[in-house]
Amino acid sequence: MKITRLECFHVKPRWLFLKVSTDGGVVGWGEPIVEGRARTVAAAIAELEPVLIGSDPFRIESLWQRMYRGTFYRGGPVLTSAISGIEQALWDIKGKCYGMPVYEMLGGRVRDRIRMYGHIKTYGDIGGITWDDMLASARSRKEDGYTAIKYAPAAPVRHIDTQSFIEAEVKRFVSLREVVGKEVDIAVDFHGRISPAMSVRLAKALESHYPMFIEEPCLPDNTEEIAMVARSTSIPVASGERKFTRWGFRQLFEKQAIAVAQPDTCHAGGIFELRKIAAMAEVYGVAFAPHNPLGPISLASCLQLDACTPNFLIQEFPAMESGADLGIGLLKTPFKLEKGYIAVPGGAGLGIEVDENLVRANSYDGAWDTPHVEYEDGSLAEW
C-alpha cells in the first residue's frame, strides 16, 4: 500500500482537517493545526509531500523521523503540528487495515471510559461574558455530569497587578465553588498571561480554595520560572500545550516544574509521540492530561491515547454548545458524553467515520487569528 494524496480542509470555526489517501482505497484523517496559523500549517503539509507520496503508510515511525529530522531546522509549532496531523491519519489507516483501534496497537486499553472536563464561560475574559453567564455555564456543566471544569482569569493582567485584581479572582473562584460544590474539581488556566511574580501571589490567594491545578502559570519559554511557581504553592501546576516533542518536555520533568503534563496531540508530534511523553512523565510521577481545545478528530486522537495510558488524569474538552467538537455535523456517529465521561471507542483506527460531505459544507478560507488584548496604555498584553 502506498500514500497517494494529502488533502487539507479548513473547517469552521477554526479547524484544519487532513485526509490522507492510499492506493488501496483506505483513507485516514488527522487534525494538524496551529490556531491562527492554519494556512501556514497547510503549506508545511504540502512541503512534506515528497517524503510521503509513494511511501508505505504503515511505517509511521520511519516517516515521522524523516519528516522531523530530515530538515536542518526542526521542531517548532508549525512543523510539529503538520507532522502531528499526518501521524494521526497514518495511525487511522493502519488501524483500519488491521481492524483494530489505535490503542490496541499501543498495548491495549487500561480503562473503560475517559473522564472529561469542560470549559466554562468566564466573566471578565475576552468576549463580554457576564457574571450570570459564567455561573450559568458552571451550573450547566454540573447538570451535564461533569466532575471537573476549567476557566481562565480576566485579561489583561499587569506584570504587577493590584490587590483588587487578586480579590476579584478569588471571588470568581469562590462563586464557582458555591455553584458546583466540593465534589466537582475546578482548574484555573492562567494561560501564560500572568507574570511569575503575580502567579505566586494569585496561587497563594487561591490555595485554600483547593483548585484542581493551575495551568500555564506563566509563559512556557522559561522552565525555571514555572518551577519557581511550583515550589511556591501546594496547588499542582500543569503545563505543556506550547511544548513540542519529548525534547520539549525534558526540562519540565527534570526540574520538577509540573505535576500535570499537557501535550497536545495536534501540536506535540502526534499520538505515538505523546505516548512517549506520557511514559517520561510516569517516571517522574507526573500525571497526563492532554490539551485539546479543538475539533472531533483531535478528540478522537486523544481518546485513543487516554485509553492506553496508565498515568492519564483527565481529558480537556471545549464542550461547545453546538456539539461540533463531539463530531455533531461532521462525523457520521458523533461521540456521546455521559455523566462527564466518554466511553473508550471500539471502532478501527481513530474509531470515527468522517462525513466528507459535511466537512466540505463547513469549509471556509482558513482566516482566523488569535484575539489581541491591550493594556490601558495601548501596549500589547499576553492573552
For the annotated catalytic residues, the residue numbers are 191, 291
Angle at 241 between CA 240 and CA 245, to 5 degrees: 70
213 close to 185: Cβ distance less than 8 angstroms? no
What is the number of residues in the chain? 383
In the numeric block, which cell numbers belong to residue 119?
Answer: 470549559
Strand, coil or helix: 115: strand
Cα separation, 335 vs 184, whole angstroms: 23
Q: Write down the residue that cell numbers 467515520 correspond to.
A: 353
Residue type present at position 339: K
Cα 313 off chain centre by: 14
Cα separation, 27 vs 23, whole angstroms: 9
H-state helical runs in 144-289: 163-180, 196-206, 223-231, 245-254, 271-283
Helix axes 196-206, 163-180, angle to 10 degrees: 40
Question: Which runs of E-coded beta strand occur in 109-183?
Answer: 113-119, 148-151
Strand, coil or helix: 9: strand
Angle at 363 between CA 337 and CA 92, to 5 degrees: 55
In the numeric block, which cell numbers belong to residue 27?
Answer: 483513507
Q: How far apart are the first and last CA of the chain?
A: 45
